[in-house]
Every structure is written in C-alpha cells, then in structure tokens.
Amino acid sequence: MMGKKTKTVKVINIDLEKCNGCRACEMICSAFHASEKYSSNNPARSRIRMIRRPLEDIYLPIYAGEYTAAECMGRDKYVIDGKEYDECDFCRASCPSREAFKEPDSGLPLKCDMCEDDPPQEEPLCVKWCLSDALTYEIREEEVEDEEEEEQKDLTQKEMERSIKALADRYGLDKVANSMARLLKKE
Amino acid sequence: MRYAETGYNLEIDLSSGNIEKVQTDPALTELHLGGLGTNARILWDRVPPETDPLAPENLLIFGTGLLAGTPAPGANRTIVTTYSPQTLLMAYSMMGGFFAPELKYAGYDKVIFSGRSPELVYIWINNDKVEIKDASHLQGKGVVETEELIKQELEDQDAQVASIGLAGENNVYYASVEHARSSASRAGIGAVMGSKNLKAVAVRGTKDLNIARPEKFIELCNEVLDYIQWRADNPVQHVPPILAGLGSPQEMAIHDEAWHTTAFSWGNARYRRKEFWTEEVEDEWFRVQDGAVQRLISCYNCPMKCGAIIAYPTLELSKYMMKCYSKLTYVMGAMADNLEFGFRIAGLAQGYGVDSYTAPQVMAFAIELYENGILTDEDLPDFPADNEGRFFYLLEKIVRREGIGDVLANGVYWAARQIGGGAEAYDSNTIKKHEQIPIKLGMLNPVFFLMHSTGEKINITQIEGQLPQAPFPEKEDREEFVKDWFQAPSENIKDFFVKWEPRGEYAFPYFPDFQTACELVEWQETMHYIDDTTGICAGLSSFPIKPPYHIHNLPTLISAGTGLDIDKDELWNKIIKRNRCLLRAINTRRGLRRKDDRPPEDHWKKRFPEHEAKLLDEYYKFKGWNSEGIPTRETLRSLDLDHVGEDLEKRGIYDDGQKDEDS
C-alpha cells in the first residue's frame, strides 16, 4: 500500500486588480538575491518581472520558473476582459525568446526560490514589499502520495545543474567542459 | 567602488554629436550630494550668467537623485535643471516615474545635453551603447504617442522615455518634459529641450546599483515601509481629507474636492466660490471620476497611488496617465464646473506637453483681457462664446504659437507686457514672471510670505509641507497632534504649534516671533532641498504632514546608502545650506535681487508692508545673506564656496546690490 504524506505548499496569490505597477517586487527580489544580501539591486536580475503595458492597463507580475533550452513553436494570444496578452506574458520559463529571468552578464537562468533563507523570512520579500496587497502569501498543507513526491535535492545542487545545462545549451557541452578543465588547471 | 550613485555622467553635445561617458569627482558628492546639488554646481561652473536660455550654450541636465534606484521607497526622482526662458533664472523642475532608476541601472547619474542638434533627434541610451537617432517622423507627435512609437521602434517595452510635445518643439515658455505618469513641468524646461531639437530621451539599463552598508540601509527602508502602512490606518486628524494621508494629494483616489474648489481661486486667480461644493456636485464629480479612473498607479518602488490611468469615452486622446491636481486646474481656470471637461482638456494638454499649472492661468488671463476689451475679435478670430470652447481654442493657438498664441506662449508676465494697453494689471498671480498656485487669502501668513517670496523653486507647493496650513482651533487637539510628531526638528517648533491660534495674541501676522518664523521656513525648505538631492519623492517626505522620511532618519539613510558619514548637523547646516546658497548665487548672478522677493500682489487681502520688510531683513540675516538677499562672502567661504563669492565680488554684485542686471 502506498503511504500518504503531508507536503507544505507555498502559495503567492496574485491579484492583478490591486497592482499599482511600482516594481518594488522586482527591486527587492534583486536586492535580496545579491551576494551579500541587499548590497546591490538590479531589476534585470529579478526573479519576478512585471509585464507592464500601462496604456493597455496590463500589469502582470510573473515569477521565474524552469529553464528551457528552446522557445515554443507557436505564439498563442489570450484576450481577457478585452485585454490582449501574448502567451509568453504568462510563461515562467527562462527561455531564449526573451531577456527576462536570466542574469544580464552571464545569461544564466534564474528561478524563484520563495526567498529561502536561514533563518527563514516570514514571507517572500516581494510579498512583504507589496503594500498594495497585489501579492499575498499563504502556506497550505496538502496530502500527497509518498512515491509521487519528488526527491528533494539540495537547493544549491539543483541550481548548479540548471546553470550547467543552460551553459551547455548555449555554448555546447564541449566548450563548457574545456572551460571547466582550464579553470581546474589554474587552481 | 561608488555607492548609491554610479560615478558617471553622460555628456552629449547635440551640435557635434559627440558622446562621452565621464567619471565624476567624488568630492562633489561629499559637497553637494547629488540631484539638485550637483546639477546646480554644473550650471554654476559651466554656463555663464549671460547665456540666453534658448541658445545652444545653455545646458539641459537630467540628474538622478542620489538615492534614486536604491531600495529606499519612493526614491525615483529626476531633477531637470537649466536656465528658464520664462523666469530667466535657474529652473529645476522634477519628475517621478521610472526614468531616474533606469538611468542609474544603465550606469549614469546624469545626462548633460549641450549644443543644438541640426535636425530633430532622440537619444537611445542602452547601457554602454548610446545613440543619437533621427526623430523627424516624431515631429508634432503627442508625448503619449511618441513614447509608444519609440518603444516599438527600439523593440523594448522596458525602455523609459522622457519626451516633449508640440509645445516644447515650439519653445512655449511653459512646455513640459513628460514621462509615463510624471512630468517636469515648471518654468519651461520643455522649451529648452525643444530649442536643442531634442524630442525624447529613451533609456534602458541592466546594471547593478550598489549600497555601502546594506544591512543598515534595508533596516531603515523597512521602518519607512512600516510607518507608511501605519499612517494609512492612522490619517492625520483636523485637516481636510486630501491632506490627511501620505503621497501627493490623493487627487485620483479621493473625490472629495471641497477643499480645493472652495479654498482655491477660480478664473484668473480671482474668485473664491465658498458655496461651490454641494451634494449634487459631489455626486456628479464622483460619477465622472469613477468612470474616468481605470487604475491607480505609482512611480518606481513606491507603495502610494498618486496617479491614474485615465480612460473616458469622450476623451480626445484614447488614454493617458494623470497625476495630482491637473484634473482641477483647467476646470477652475475656465470656471467650468465640469469635471469631465477637466479630464478631456488635461489629456489633450498633456499630449502637447504644457504645464498644467501655468497653461490654464494663461488662458484665464486671455479670457479676462478679451472680456475687458484689451484683446479683441481681431486678436481672437472665431473665438467661441463658452469658456470650455475658449480653452480648447487657446490651447491649440498656444502650442502652435499661432496668432495671439505666439504671445500667450510666453506666459502671463511677458504676454501682458507685449500686449500692453493695460494688460499688465491682469498679471495678478505671478512671482518672478512665473504663474503661481491660484490662492487668495485674507490675513498675511508670515511663514508662507517668506516661502513664497524667497523660494528658488518659485513654486510654493514645493517649498511648504509638514506644518498644517492653519492652526487647529482647540488646544487639546494641538497638544494631541504634537504627541507623536517626532518629525518636528525641535521643541521650539512643537511649542509654536501648541500655542498657535486662529485669533488673538498667538495668531498671524505678528506671531510667531521672527526667529521662529525663520526656523519654520528653513526647516520646511531644508526638507525639500534634501529630497531634491536624494530624489526621494516629496510625497513621502517634505510635503505631507507627519511623513515617513524626516530630518532624524534621512542623515542615517544617506550615510548607509553612500558610505559617507553625515549627521544631522552636517546635512542641514553644511550640505543643504551650501546647496541653498549656491542656488541663490546662481540666481543672483542672473540678476535676482530683493525687489523680486515678493508674493503675488493680491495673494493676501491684509498686508503689512513694514512687518513684511522686517521679515525679509530677519530672514536674510538668518540665512547669512546681505540686505539684498545675496549670500555674503563670509557665508559662502564658510560653506566651501569661496570661489562663488569671489565671482560675485568680481562682477561688482556686492558693490551695487541695487543694480538691476538686465539679462
């Protein structure tokens, strides 16, 4: 018999009607993830990005999700309440089709980690800094099948794997391997 | 490494097309901080006082505030500095929005334009890549359309654009620079941009901005956010709703306009309509505003919602963004009673890029001249019979400098003198040739008298703040107010407030004593000067009552951000005093003298010429200026500005203060 297990699900609720478009979420995300926390900020490095087309009244915060090596073949359009969105507007992927969710210098993919911290933050900082309450936070307990739960890898390890995969996609595995070899030699 | 600032300016000579990235001197940051302070220093050092504001030799400086782009909430202001074609003095209008942070992320603290481009161009700043691009296809386009077209052309929705409309292209003396929901509107900065054949500046940046002491800095930012939240739940009591919260007056969110419509003047700053705000008006205005405001919006990294996206079925423009008070200025100038008219004409006027303070007053002035036979049907062919129609008519003439519009485009002061025939008498609301907020009051207010008269911004709303505009009638309420008034700079100011009464011994104009009056003015002005150097929005700092930023936390915040060690004394008595005196010296060198330090003649019904003269004397002394309002050599020397004093001396300005230097 398969066992049941409780899993903690962290949820950011996004209420588009409440967004005032200030981009504090982008700013504080990039500041929190600076090495030495808050020592710099740069919205281009943020793991949340505002899709912002003021005159169309489109204000859409999107979180960075998985890295993908290739962009989609087609582009669908959504019309919601008379506003036209590109499919990509809702997509969380760090993808070759756009600048968002990549480190500006290296092009390495970024992913939202809900502000993992030690000691833990009360809530992700984008939520904390959103005084308009367009972003709110809740923690839900869900029952899941034991087997189905993904094996929890160390967070740093996951990030490493993602980065190496992205580099390999971009420059070819050979080139990455050679660079690594050169680096190791120097040490 | 440089902190809070990037340490680089971008120098663009539009005549030759030469573009340079220039490292700045950190010593100037220590002396003047950034924003207005270093802008002023550049203007003093590089633009001779005899320069014609519309000549290629004038500089147009887009300076970011020192803290703009850092995590400090509301630090997003761009300070645009040049010589004004209208006042002929220094102009330093400012805008919020997203431009300054983007410029910082692109790696620059300022963009400094010199020369004049042979053709209409726009500038594209994309990190280290800077291009001068043809703008002939944008000629005559409105600012909203210009911004959209440029973003499309650059294929970058994240680019931030500041642009001028037809008014700027045609050098209208009150043309604005418009950006997103913000604008640098006052004193004709858009005309200077137009004179340089510069249609727009677009910027995109993806670089880091550094903070010197991150832990301390973010702790202070969090305190500011907490206090903003607390203030949202705890509005200030005993003041009109529009003044009870933070931000610029919440014109887009609040529809209760009892205060503006009954306390401010209508027409050419003439009439108060104390009975205007009735229940029917309130219902109708609520309906219109509710239908027009699509979303409340803010500037970069700011939780307030001072602006709005405006969409209204009868709009000439399909959509635009609005802020603050412009929904009322045209309505009240035109005596229109009709808020829908306000939304319609404000959108059109913004597209043309004119200042929404000055433009309606110029139009109201023209209507008065017409009604009194000074302007005739010959000057105004086919002039409509109704004021709303007249305003639309005049707007089109002015932004094209067509017919009488060519004269009115110079503002009330110059137009009155060009028209002649008694028109000067209708110039009722200018200071230093610049239109003021239309308020007409009874009893002289000594504090506001000094602020109106001596402010270098020549605009009261950006000098005042923090001190409630009228005394609370009940003593218990005043005592209650000061209990958590930790923003006050001293006990003396709190004592003043508790004593201050509407009538009797502790009422204006002879109360408070000179020393306290000077302290009140200097405190409020100092707070604005700090904001104008840091780029923190006045709406969270110097403008509202009980703001989250104040004299007790700002020195620490600036220090943590920049790595400088600045305490309250250094900030107030050295850096800000230095900037204040430098601005005064710049304008002194352009001909400003004591005789110009006056409020609009009929601003108060009850005037006290002797007392007013004494107030000026005492204030000048308090500031370390001579009886002509010129900073003395000793004052300038003590502020490390001896070269400034030396220059004033060489020009003979101290020998003959009375001499009117015609510029």
Which residue out of B103, B157, B218, B224 would a mutagenesis test of the A interface target, given it has the greatest number of A Cβ atoms within 10 Å? B218
Q: Are the CB atoms for B107 and B8 separated by under 8 Å?
A: yes
pLDDT for B247 equals 85
Q: Flag if B319 and A131 touch (Cβ within 8 Å).
A: no
**Closest in B215, B218, B301 to A22, CB measured:** B301
CA dist B218 and A37 (Å) reads 10
pLDDT for A152 equals 57
CA dist B548 and B230 (Å) reads 10
Count of H helices and E strands in chain B? 26, 22
**Closest in A37, A99, A131 to B303, CB measured:** A131
pLDDT for A154 equals 67
CA dist B159 and B147 (Å) reads 9
Q: Are the CB atoms for B22 and B204 separated by under 8 Å?
A: no
- Compute the nearest-CA separation of A93 from chain B (Å): 18
CA dist B481 and B351 (Å) reads 43
B72: left (phi over 0), alpha (psi -120 to 50) or beta: beta
Contact A43/B at CB under 8 A: yes
Contact A25/B at CB under 8 A: no
Confidence class of residue A148 from pLDDT cuts 50, 70 and 90? low
Q: Flag if B207 and A104 touch (Cβ within 8 Å).
A: yes
Which residue out of A131, A132, A133, A135 would a mutagenesis test of the B interface target, given it has the greatest number of B Cβ atoms within 10 Å? A131
| SS3 of B458-479 | CCHHHCCCCCCCCCCCCHHHHH
Query: Which pLDDT tens digit goes with each residue over B514-544?
Result: 999 999 999 999 999 999 999 999 999 999 9
pLDDT for A180 equals 76
Give the CA angle between residues A158, A96, A15 to the nearest 5°: 75
- Compute the nearest-CA separation of B222 from chain A (Å): 9
What token pair was written down for A154?
Answer: 């160390």
pLDDT for B460 equals 80
The number of angstroms, rounded, from the C-alpha of B60 to the middle of its chain's C-alpha atoms is 16
Q: Flag if A57 and B299 touch (Cβ within 8 Å).
A: no
Tally C-beta pairs within 8 A across A and B: 98
| A104 contact residues in B (CB cutoff 8 A) | 206-207
Query: HSE (CB half, 13 Å, CA atoms) of B26?
Result: 8
CA dist B20 and B11 (Å) reads 5
Q: Flag if B208 and A36 touch (Cβ within 8 Å).
A: no
pLDDT for A146 equals 73
Provide the β-strand partners of residue A136: A13
Instruction: With a cut of 80, say whether residue B373 has pLDDT above it.
Output: yes
What token pair was written down for B171?
Answer: 């050098």
Q: DSSP string spanning B54-86?
A: TSTTS-EEEEE-TTTTSSSTTB--EEEEEE-TT
Interface of B with A (CB under 8 A): 69-71, 73, 98, 105, 144, 148, 157-158, 180-181, 205-211, 214-215, 217-218, 225, 228-229, 232, 294-305, 309, 311, 319-321
| A36 contact residues in B (CB cutoff 8 A) | 214
Instruction: With a cut of 70, say whether residue B660 has pLDDT above it.
Output: no
CA dist A135 and B453 (Å) reads 46
Instruction: With a cut of 80, say whether residue B58 has pLDDT above it.
Output: yes
What's the CATH architecture for B246-417?
Orthogonal Bundle (1.10)
CA dist B581 and B225 (Å) reads 33
pLDDT for A153 equals 61
Name the DSSP letter for residue B425: G
What residue type is B113 in one-letter code?
A: F
What token pair was written down for B121?
Answer: 């161009």
Q: Flag if B211 and A41 touch (Cβ within 8 Å).
A: yes
**Closest in A31, A34, A55 to B319, CB measured:** A55
pLDDT for B658 equals 46
Question: Coil, strand, or helix at residue B542?
Answer: coil
Instruction: With a cut of 50, say whether residue A69 has pLDDT above it.
Output: yes
Among candidate residues B572, B629, B197, the one with its CA nearest the CA of residue B432: B629
Q: Flag if B296 and A20 touch (Cβ within 8 Å).
A: yes
Q: Flag if A57 and B295 touch (Cβ within 8 Å).
A: yes
Among candidate residues B360, B349, B193, the one with its CA nearest the CA of residue B264: B360
Mean pLDDT for the stretch of residues B361-383: 98
Residues 6+ apart with CB under 8 A from A141: A6, A7, A8, A9
Q: Flag if B208 and A45 touch (Cβ within 8 Å).
A: yes
pLDDT for A3 equals 73
Domains of chain B, by residue range, sit at 8-204, 246-417, 441-650
B35, containing H or E segment: none
| Radius of gyration, CA atoms only, chain A | 19
Provide the β-strand partners of residue B126: B129, B204
Higher pLDDT, A119 or A162: A119
Residues 6+ apart with CB under 8 A from B98: A23, B76, B160, B179, B180, B299, B300
**Closest in A20, A23, A38 to B218, CB measured:** A38
**Domain B8-204 in this protein, CATH class:** alpha beta
**Averaged pLDDT of chain A:** 89
Contact A24/B at CB under 8 A: yes
Q: Flag if B105 and A42 touch (Cβ within 8 Å).
A: yes
Give the strand pairing for B198-204 and B121-126.
parallel
What are the DSSP E strand ranges found in B58-208?
A: 60-64, 78-83, 90-95, 110-114, 121-126, 129-134, 160-163, 177-179, 182-184, 198-204
Query: Which pLDDT tens digit goes with each residue over B254-292?
Result: 888 998 999 999 999 998 999 999 999 999 999 999 999
CA dist B93 and B169 (Å) reads 18
Query: Which pLDDT tens digit goes with each residue over B390-420?
Result: 999 999 999 999 999 999 999 999 999 999 9
Residues 6+ apart with CB under 8 A from B123: B12, B111, B130, B131, B132, B133, B198, B200, B201, B202
Say if domain B441-650 classifies as CATH 1.10.599.10.
Answer: yes
Other CB atoms within a 10 A radius of the CB of residue B421 amount to: 11
Name the DSSP letter for residue B594: G
| A44 contact residues in B (CB cutoff 8 A) | 105, 205-207
Residues 6+ apart with CB under 8 A from B189: B60, B80, B82, B84, B91, B93, B175, B176, B177
Query: Which pLDDT tens digit goes with each residue over B68-105?
Result: 999 999 999 999 999 999 999 999 999 999 999 999 99
CA dist B588 and B195 (Å) reads 25
End-to-end alpha-carbon separation of chain B, Å? Answer: 43
| B215 contact residues in A (CB cutoff 8 A) | 37-38
Q: Flag if A41 and B208 touch (Cβ within 8 Å).
A: yes
Among candidate residues A160, A133, A121, the one with its CA nearest the CA of residue A20: A133
The number of angstroms, rounded, from the C-alpha of B634 to the middle of its chain's C-alpha atoms is 30
Confidence class of residue B313 from pLDDT cuts 50, 70 and 90? confident
Phi, psi (deg, nearest 5) at residue B240? -60, 150
Phi, psi (deg, nearest 5) at residue A138? -145, 155
**Closest in A44, A54, A130 to B321, CB measured:** A54
Higher pLDDT, B441 or B31: B31
Phi, psi (deg, nearest 5) at residue B439? -125, 130
Residues 6+ apart with CB under 8 A from B337: B276, B281, B331
Distances (CA, A) of B527 to A45, B2, B534, B606: 33, 25, 11, 29
B366, containing H or E segment: helix B358-371
Other CB atoms within a 10 A radius of the CB of residue B567 amount to: 12
Instruction: With a cut of 80, say whether residue B361 has pLDDT above it.
Output: yes
Question: Residue B258 burial (CB < 10 Å; 0-12/13-18/19+)?
Answer: middle
Distances (CA, A) of A144 to A5, A8, A137, B597: 5, 10, 21, 76
Q: Are the CB atoms for B154 and B141 separated by under 8 Å?
A: no
Confidence class of residue A178 from pLDDT cuts 50, 70 and 90? confident
Instruction: With a cut of 90, say whether residue B474 has pLDDT above it.
Output: yes
pLDDT for B251 equals 79
B426, containing H or E segment: none
| B252 contact residues in A (CB cutoff 8 A) | none
Residues 6+ apart with CB under 8 A from B541: B74, B527, B530, B531, B547, B548, B549, B550, B554
Among candidate residues A101, A163, A123, A22, the one with its CA nearest the CA of residue B101: A22
CA dist B551 and B487 (Å) reads 7
CA dist B401 and B390 (Å) reads 16
Query: Which pLDDT tens digit goes with each residue over B613-642?
Result: 999 999 999 999 999 999 999 999 999 999
| B305 contact residues in A (CB cutoff 8 A) | 20, 132
Sign of CA dihedral B164, B166, B170, B171: negative
Q: Are the CB atoms for B511 and B500 separated by under 8 Å?
A: yes
**Closest in A23, A37, A52 to B301, CB measured:** A23
CA dist A31 and A45 (Å) reads 9
pLDDT for A60 equals 96
CA dist B406 and B415 (Å) reads 9
What token pair was written down for B169?
Answer: 């292209």
Q: Flag if B298 and A44 touch (Cβ within 8 Å).
A: no
Nearest-CA residue of chain B relative to A102?
A: B206
Mean pLDDT for the stretch of residues B575-600: 97
Q: DSSP string spanning A101-112?
A: TB-TTT--B---
Domains of chain A, by residue range, sit at 4-145, 153-187
Q: Are the CB atoms for B434 and B427 separated by under 8 Å?
A: no
Least confident of A169-173, B75-79, B94-98, B110-114: A169-173
**Averaged pLDDT of chain B:** 95
Contact A21/B at CB under 8 A: yes
Q: Flag if A20 and B305 touch (Cβ within 8 Å).
A: yes
Query: Which pLDDT tens digit goes with each residue over B481-504?
Result: 999 999 999 999 999 999 999 999
Nearest-CA residue of chain B relative to A56?
A: B319
